[in-house]
Structure 1
Amino acid sequence: MTLAYDATGDGPALVLLHSGVCDRRMWDPQWSALADAGYRVVRCDFRGFGETPLPDRRHNDAEDVLDLMDALGIDRAALVGSSFGGRVALEIAARHPDRVSAMALLCAGLPGHEPTDVLRAFGEREDALLEAGDVAGAVELNVDTWLGPDAQEAVRDELRGMQRHAFDVQLAAPEGAGRIAVEIDLSAIKAPCLAVSGGRDLVDFRQIAARLPNLLADARHLELPWAGHLPGLERPAAVADLLTGFLRETVPVG
């Protein structure tokens, strides 16, 4: 099964990987800017998000993205990953280092990260709301937790829609569905990496971004003091400029 996706532009390939509370629509604000900068831009929905259904078996998101790249004839791509999408990008780059030219990770997750009490409390609260059937309450919890103060109300509404759809799909998941976890060796990653954190994000993701330069061969950390967990939705133009600048540095066009 191929992931639902969009593709536009010409030039070096760039794959955008969404967060676990969004779907590929989260990249709407950066979509045209990245294509106009000279890149062939692809964005996809992971299984259980957006227009990609969940199968009745276990799956691996990194393998799904690689399968999509193969189907599109992309041997090597830069990866931009937000939150969970950043975690998937790290898995791809560790397991298949020759297929990744660069990575920009926005408030990324990290395989094997031990959650702090703050993140664990969020997960417990979300689980309790969903078990009680209060899906709307769980949606609001996610909107309040993951968007920083710069997010406009229209953006908050967009996030509500994406998160509600994901919950509806995933709560109706067939028996046997789920993700396959894979152990990875971060030292295998060769691609240059920009690890971005938000000064108003949960401490877990700030810690992960700060650690990555010590775990990867070629990584640097940048903290955006104004940002929550989803800076691309909070200050879209600033993030488009940040990504374009990093990509021009690491994956030049022409």
Structure 2
Amino acid sequence: MTKIEVNGAVLAYDEVGTGSPVVLLHAGIADRRMWRKQIDVLADRHRVIALDLRGYGESELPPTPFSHHDDVVGLLDALDLPQAALVGCSFGGAVAIDTALAHPDRVSALALFGTAVSGHEWSDQTNELWEDLVGDVDPEDFAATAAGEVRFWVVGPERTPEQVDPELLAFATAMDERALAAELALSAVDVVELNPPAAGRLGELRVPVLVTAGAADVPDIRQLADRIAAEAPQATRLPDVPDAAHLLPLERPTPTNTALLTFLT
């Protein structure tokens, strides 16, 4: 693990390999550890940087306004990298898209797994699924909230916990409890969003885009993958990965790594 000052905050990241640079951006229920099954595989061909976004994992959160997409470019500046391919999952995918829109000359490609999109409003169907699977939880009870989020996102609405690797569930729960503490702290800081948001601007993306999702993920996520593929001019939509939900790269590393190596090459 290395730490570096970016835009007034000290951010933590892992870096391995040499070659064309690739930055890995984690889900909002996770941290950079979710990429543990990708880093070494990609490092055979690429300079791989797995970042803890500001406030998450081991990255600091000073009480000053900031934007995640500017932090990504700040990291590239600090590492003297003119461009990088961005790989994102969920919230990390949304940050990757925002970065490509805000700083189009700094991003060479986007690979998106179960991605969110800034400005997207969750459907009634997804909100109803949350109520059915999770219900009301005390947001200050990190253990209960993490259990609910892991049930919703990592297990998914079409599976039961018994159908999912218990080690994956335990690791995801531990990451999510830490991420919930990060989100509580972030709620007290002015996080500057992309304006206008990405939801109405996917057609502006001018880089190759790879997009896929887990077949067991919530419907909105799979539909967002379809939307990105339809609207981004250079997008490739891979089929949904069977028996995988929101943390697709962690749950199904083999198809994830195959897709990444092919796309990034």
Instruction: Give TM-score, length-normalised by structure 1.
Output: 0.89
- Counterpart residue number, 1:135: 142
Change (3 A) 1:212 1:124: same
**Cα RMSD (Å) of the superposition?**
2.2
Q: Aligned partner of 1:180: which letter?
A: V
Local SS of the residue matching 1:141: helix
Match for 1:51 among 58, 75, 100? Answer: 58
- Counterpart residue number, 1:229: 246
Change (3 A) 1:235 1:151: farther
Equivalenced residue count is 245
Residue 177 of structure 1 pairs with residue 189 of structure 2? yes
Higher RCO (Cα < 8 Å, 6 or more apart): 1
Identity %: 37
Residue 187 of structure 1 pairs with residue 199 of structure 2? no
Alignment of 1:1-254 (within 5 A): 1-36=9-44, 38-121=45-128, 122=130, 128-131=136-139, 133-148=140-155, 151-171=164-184, 173=185, 176-182=188-194, 183-184=196-197, 185-222=201-238, 223-248=240-265
- Counterpart residue number, 2:5: none
Unaligned runs of 5+ in 2: 1-8
Instruction: Give TM-score, length-normalised by structure 2.
Output: 0.85
Unaligned runs of 5+ in 1: 249-254
> Cα deviation per residue 1:124-166 (whole Å; 9 max; x = unaligned)?
98794234x4321111111111224674211211111111112
Local SS of the residue matching 1:75: coil
- Name the CA distance, whole Å, in 2 between partners of 1:176 and 1:230: 27
Change (3 A) 1:14 1:216: same
C-alpha displacement at 1:2, in angstroms?
Answer: 3.6
- Name the CA distance, whole Å, in 2 between partners of 1:129 and 1:203: 22
Tell me if structure 2 keeps the 8 A contact 1:3–1:64. Answer: no
